Chains A and B, each alone.
Chain A
Amino acid sequence: MAVTEERPDRLDPLRDRHTASEPPILARGLSHWFGEGEARKQVLYDIDLSVDRGSLTVLLGPSGSGKTTLLTLLGCLRNVQKGSVRLLGTELAGADERTLIRCRRRLGFIFQAHNLHDSLTALQNTLMGLGVHGPDVSGRHREAAIHMLGLVGLADRLDYLPSRLSGGQKQRVAVARALVGNPDVIFADEPTAALDRATGLQVVTLLKRLGRERGTSTLMVTHDNRILEMADRILSMDDGRIVDDQRVGPGDME
C-alpha cells in the first residue's frame, strides 16, 4: 500500500474540532454490570482514565478483562451505569439518545470485522462516514472520500464492491470510512488483524499522523506487537480493572 504524501488538511475539516482544555476522554469511577438479578455480574470496577489529545493509547488484556466493554462505554455505544464519562466535553452518564448520537458523529470506529455494506462500492462505503454530517451539496464529501481512499492505497478501487476486494482491502475501506469524517477520537478493535504487516503499519502510521497533525486521539484494542512499539501509552486490563499504565513515548515509524 502506498500512502500518498498529500497534506492531511485535505481531509476536509467539516466542523469545529474539540478544543476544550480538558482531555478528550475522561472517565471517573466507571463501573459496569451485565445481566440482572442473581445473574448480574460486574465487568468493570471503578475505572479512572484520562486520554491525552493526539495520543495513540493501546488497551491490552486477556479475553474477558473488560477492554471491549470499556471501549463501548467510552464510545457512546452503551449507557453509563455508574461513574462518569466525559467525552469531548460532554457528560455521557445520563445522556439521552440524541446526545449520544451527536457525540458518535465526532468519533471514528474501526472494527475487527470490516462491516462494509455489500451493495455499496468502496467509495460509497467511505461516503457513509460523511453522510451523517448532511448531504453532499457541493461534492466535498466525494472529494474527501476519494482522497481518503487514496491515502489507504485504494485510489484504483473506488467503484469496487466489497465482494471484489481482498480482506485487507476491505479493512482499509473500513479505515477510510472511519477516518474520512475527520473524527476527534478513534476507537479501534484489532484494526490490523486482517492486514499484512506493511499495510498494518501504514494504517497505524496514518493514525499517528492524524494524532500529531490534528490532535486526533486513538484508543485501540490490539495484541499486535508492531503497534505496541508505536503506542504513546499502553494500558493493561485484567478482571475489569486497569492493572498497568505505561506511558512509553513516541515510537513513530515515519
Chain B
Amino acid sequence: MTELLARLFGRLPIGWLQLVHNPTRLAAALAGVAFANILILMQLGFLGALVGSIRLPYDQFNADILISSSDMNTLADSSPLPRQRMFEALAVPGVGRATPLYYGKIDWKQPDGSIRTLDAFGVDPQTRAFRTPAIDAMRDQIAISDLALIDRRTRNVPAAFFAAIDRGEIYQFEAKGRTLSVVGAFSIGGGFSADGYLVVSDQTFLKLFPQRAAGAPNHILVTLEPDARREDVIARLRQVLPAYDSIARTIDEAVAKDQAFQTTQRPIGIVFGFGIVIGVLVGMVIVYQVLATDVADHLREYATFKAIGYPQSFFLGIIFEEALILAILGFVPGLLIALLLYAAVAAATGLPLAMTVIRALAVLIGTIVMCTISGAIATRRLARADPAELF
C-alpha cells in the first residue's frame, strides 16, 4: 500500500504512514467516518423511501392528467373540487375519459386490537381508474356495496390473511360503522402516512364517509385520446378550468408537487434532511479532531521539514492525503453496514428502502468533500510549526 501511494503521490505517503502508525486512532477515525456515513445513508434512504412511497399510488392510476383542487399539496391533502370540473374537462379536445377519485382514511382494527391505517380510494367501478391488473380485474366485484379490495403489502398483517383471501374466502371487518367485505387483494405497499391501501366503489366510499358528497371528489383522473399531446391538453384544461378551485397537472407534475411538499414542508421530510446535516457535522468534527490532533502531535517534525525547505503546499498535501484516505476507508464499512440496515428496515416496515449507485457515489463524494473541509480547517494549526523554535 505504501509503495502504491508513493507512486501515486510521487513522494513518501507521509499521511498514510502517520495514520497506520497509530492504529487505535486510525480505527477510531474510520469508525467515526463510517458512523457518519451510516447516518447520512440511512437518512437518505428514509428520504428516498418517503419520495418513493409518495409516487407508488400515482403509478397505479390509469391516468395521464390529474385535476385537483388548486390548494392541493399532496394526494391526501387536497380539498374536494366540484365534479362539474370533470364534465368541463370531458369537453376539452384531446381528453378521452375523466373519472372522479375519492380519497379518505380508514382504520382497520386487527383481531389483536391493533389498528392499521389504510388510504381508501373510491372509484367508479364502471371505469378503468387503476392500471394495476389486480385491481382492474376485480373492479366488477367491488361494484357491489360494501365490498373492498385490500393492499396485500399492508404493514404487519399476517400472510395467512391474504392466503385466505386468495383462496376465495371473504374477510369482513368493521370500518366507519359499516361492515366491509374484502374480496380480493392487490399490491402497492404502505408509506409514511398509512400502512396500506383500500379500494372501494364510489358508492361504498360515500357510505363510509357520509359527510362527503358525490359531487365533490378529491381528484379527477383524466386519460387522453390516443393522438392527443399531453402538453396541449394540459394547456387547454388550464384555460377552461377556473384557477380558483382547480388545477390540471400531469401525473409526474402532481408527484413532484407532492414530493416537494412532503420533503420540505412536512416535519418528517425536514427531520430526514436535518439528520443528513447532523451526519455531515458529526463526520466533519470527528475527522477534524483526528487531523488536528495529528498535526499537533507532529508540529516539531513539520517545523523540521519547513526548515529543510518544504513549502506550505507539502504540508497541505499531507493533511489532504489523510483526509482522502479516511474518507475512502471509512466509506466502505459505512456503506456495507448501511446496506444491512436498509435490508433490515425494509423487511420490518415494508418501505421501499433501497441503495442506489448514485446515492452511494454521492455520499462517497460528499464524504471526501466533508473530510477535505475538515482537513482544511485542521491545516490552520500548521502555522504554529515554526522552524525557528527548533533551535
- Using a CB–CB cutoff of 8 Å, the interface residues on chain A facing chain B are 68, 71-72, 75, 77-78, 101-105, 107, 109, 111-113, 115-120, 124, 127-129, 131-132, 135, 161, 177, 181, 189, 221
Contact = CB atoms under 8 A, between A and B. Distances in A.
Given A111-B390, A189-B391, A128 B305 contact: yes
A142 to B, nearest CB: 11
Given A117-B301, A119-B21, A132 B390 contact: no
19 contacts: A71-B391, A72-B387, A72-B391, A75-B307, A77-B390, A101-B310, A104-B307, A104-B308, A104-B309, A105-B308, A109-B387, A111-B390, A119-B20, A120-B14, A128-B12, A128-B305, A128-B308, A161-B21, A181-B308
B389 to A, nearest CB: 9
Which of B18, B309, B390 has the most CB atoms of chain A within a 10 A radius of its CB?
B309
Given A111-B390, A119-B17, A132 B310 contact: yes
Interface of B: 10-12, 14, 17-18, 20-22, 298, 300-301, 303-305, 307-311, 387-388, 390-391
A30 to B, nearest CB: 15
Nearest to A221: B391
Given A72-B391, A77-B387, A132 B308 contact: yes
Which of B298, B303, B307 has the most CB atoms of chain A within a 10 A radius of its CB?
B307
Contact of B21 (A78, A118, A131, A189): A118
Contact of A117 (B14, B311, B387): B14
A105 B309 contact: yes
Nearest to A116: B301
Contacts of B310: 101, 131-132
Interface of chain B: mostly helix, strand, loop or mixed: helix
Contacts of A68: 391
A161 B21 CA distance: 10
A119 B308 contact: no
B16 to A, nearest CB: 9
B307 A113 contact: no
Contacts of A101: 309-311
Nearest to A181: B308
Contact of B304 (A78, A103, A109, A161): A109
B308 A109 contact: yes
Nearest to A163: B21
A115 B389 CA distance: 12
A41 to B, nearest CB: 16
A171 B17 CA distance: 21
A103 to B, nearest CB: 8
B79 to A, nearest CB: 67
B304 A131 contact: no
A105 B314 CA distance: 14
Nearest to B9: A135
B309 A72 contact: no
Nearest to A133: B309
A78 B301 contact: no
Contacts of A78: 388
A124 B387 CA distance: 20
B275 to A, nearest CB: 36
